[in-house]
Structure 1
């Protein structure tokens, strides 16, 4: 839900000021409708991501406007970045209800071009004063707006897992020269809400992760069959098939859970490109195995090993699960249970189909067609993720 606070009514309000407010609102809607990673209008953006005990802020300031307003150099030299950081930190503040400042740590700063003109990008970690709530803050902003009154900054909540916001953008309002403060009040949210929302996030992520599901389905495809002479032959008994499926799904869960925990608790990371390419490779390997037995009897081992790679793809999702060990564990547990629920649902739906396919007259041909289609999809993904197409 997009909530835009109404500016306070002033006695000197004119038709011109009403028009300006209308234009600001229209611009805000346009910005939120854009899927680009960076804004495409010459305004600043402040994107907040709430987690227990921590707020992450991603700040984007147009490079040209920043240079004009401050007179500072806008290159990526150490000296220039230090001056830019000092200026931004001096021209902003994050306060609690009693006026006590939050701790602001700059994790990253750079002038870079992502979409549209180049911008100044800052990534901040914000922690509340001792005893202050971590879901209520007053944002004060004078960056560029003091020198350029026509400039404004949109304050947006990008994520709030405990509050149920994930993958959506909620506009708080616009910070201008005349309105330099905005109150962000997220209400109360306990560990129960965090668990349920993390579970929903895990379920949605795996349901929308076609490469994750396709890898698992391709491994399950030959499970009702016995390997003989380098081919898939006789049908496996139903009880043995169910046992096999259970081992494959469990091994995959253990694999992705291991790297998920390492990412959330210990900061283990790999660059996105090799991880995504590894996932595509896992789909290709499982597709080949579905056509001809490459590692018969070792499907759970392969599921577990490739599950480690798939778990690394979840690292960015769990990076904002909070500072405390308890909150991270609760969120990881919910996230994993969401993934597991979808996986079990997929197995429950596909098991009767797989058993029927193993005993159907044209089952082998159907399995080969499915394996080939999966392999083609994997090759396309692998080519895209390696930058070959």
Structure 2
């Protein structure tokens, strides 16, 4: 239907178009952040040991330069089972983790491989360390003579990569250098409480979702169409304010249920999938939601789609739950805090996005702006998808 607008209304729309332009510019700047590259990997010829403390256990990532390891041990450095078994034995022979009274921590090798991630190839080992009965899980002596026994000039940097209960996450702390003349270092993380674990898990969840541009774009793309009705294969009408808020609440709630389900399954049942298909699935979810924001693909089923893809997003969150501790109580506390942190950021996004979505839906420039934002989101999703499938 064609209607004649009064001049004052036209002036109002012009102001609205300026608002839309600012919104598009802001989202474009946000999308530019999504093209950031990952952090650099190990590039130096020294070894590195990165510790991640959790209640009841410590995870350790060990990186030993392959060339130095081969020179020091004379062992084969391929990934045949017998070569990996020999490498595992050589490392465990020249290292120990001790309690203050001299008792040894139990060491389990979760993974071992010779691989080239960036720069020269390295020996990578993932370890799970548990203290002897009655000993603190936050105080240990790390003894290390790998490679250094045969090559005294070699050294290993010992770092704390994470300490969820103690507050460190994403801010690497250098403990010191293990050398031929100083092959032992003490790591004392002090006291940690369940309240501290909850608070730090909350911060971790909030930080993770705030920096998870793909997670946020998936949610925002689904929210773009929340104020609209579909008709004839197009977005052709507006929902009432109550209907819009209901749609927003259902989408966010379904996404929460989805990612919480796989997070709990990962924490308590050990559910895991390889990282590449999970990350590719997340990129695909962003692409699907972007297409839907431009043209209705599953009108009225946004909550269902949010829940199903939320299961995939939860598998990405699940990469962190291995550091949530060994006990059921500590894992439950950490997962609750982590999920609440995610929900706090999601709620903030919805609060900020809702008035913007309503402005878009009611502006004469709204359809063009929505399609433009959907297109930008789709481009970012295609870039991620190609990158995560190894096509770029």
Which bin holds the TM-score, normalised by the shorter protein? 0.7 to 0.9
Aligned mates of 1:376, 1:135 — CA distance in 2: 46
1:269 deviation in Å?
Answer: 1.4
Equivalent residue for 2:202? 199
- Deviation per residue, 1:81-119 (Å, 9 max, x gap): 323222221211111111111111122222222222222
- The DSSP-based 3-state class of the residue aligned with 2:325 is coil
Equivalent residue for 1:185? 188
Q: Judge which range, 292-301 or 357-366, deviates more.
A: 357-366
- Deviation per residue, 1:140-197 (Å, 9 max, x gap): 1122222222111111111111111112211100111111110000011111111111
Aligned mates of 1:363, 1:111 — CA distance in 2: 53
- The DSSP-based 3-state class of the residue aligned with 2:271 is coil
Equivalent residue for 1:279? 282
Give RMSD over aligned pairs. 1.6
Tell me which of 145, 150, 158 is aligned to 1:142.
145
| Aligned pairs (5 A) from 1:286-297 | 286-297=289-300
Aligned mates of 2:310, 2:204 — CA distance in 1: 18
TM-score computed with the length of structure 1 as normaliser: 0.87
| Alignment CA distance shift 1:72-1:357 (3 Å) | closer
Tell me which of 335, 342, 346 is aligned to 1:343.
346
- The DSSP-based 3-state class of the residue aligned with 1:36 is coil
Q: Judge which range, 67-76 or 342-351, deviates more.
A: 67-76
1:353 aligns with 2:382: no
Structure number with higher relative contact order (C-alpha < 8 Å, ≥ 6 residues apart): 2
| Aligned pairs (5 A) from 1:108-127 | 108-127=111-130
1:35 deviation in Å?
Answer: 4.3
1:69 aligns with 2:72: yes
- Deviation per residue, 1:26-64 (Å, 9 max, x gap): xxxxxxxx94322x2221111111111011111122222
Tell me which of 32, 37, 41 is aligned to 1:37.
41
Aligned mates of 2:64, 2:305 — CA distance in 1: 46
Equivalent residue for 1:378? 381
Extract unaligned runs of 5+ from structure 1: 1-33
Q: Judge which range, 282-291 or 68-77, deviates more.
A: 68-77
- Deviation per residue, 1:104-135 (Å, 9 max, x gap): 11222222222222222222111001111100
Aligned mates of 1:110, 1:295 — CA distance in 2: 44
| Alignment CA distance shift 1:132-1:355 (3 Å) | same
Q: Judge which range, 352-361 or 297-306, deviates more.
A: 352-361
1:234 deviation in Å?
Answer: 2.4
1:326 aligns with 2:326: no
Equivalent residue for 1:241? 244
Give the number of aligned pairs. 355
| Alignment CA distance shift 1:366-1:115 (3 Å) | closer
TM-score computed with the length of structure 2 as normaliser: 0.87
| Alignment CA distance shift 1:297-1:90 (3 Å) | same
Aligned mates of 2:196, 2:183 — CA distance in 1: 32
- Deviation per residue, 1:351-374 (Å, 9 max, x gap): 111112222222222222222222
Aligned mates of 1:236, 1:79 — CA distance in 2: 65
- The DSSP-based 3-state class of the residue aligned with 2:323 is coil
- The DSSP-based 3-state class of the residue aligned with 2:76 is coil
Equivalent residue for 2:6? none
1:70 deviation in Å?
Answer: 2.7
| Alignment CA distance shift 1:282-1:78 (3 Å) | closer
1:305 aligns with 2:308: yes
| Alignment CA distance shift 1:358-1:35 (3 Å) | closer
| Alignment CA distance shift 1:294-1:35 (3 Å) | closer
Aligned mates of 2:138, 2:103 — CA distance in 1: 14
Equivalent residue for 2:34? none
Aligned mates of 2:302, 2:367 — CA distance in 1: 19
- The DSSP-based 3-state class of the residue aligned with 1:319 is helix
| Alignment CA distance shift 1:118-1:372 (3 Å) | closer
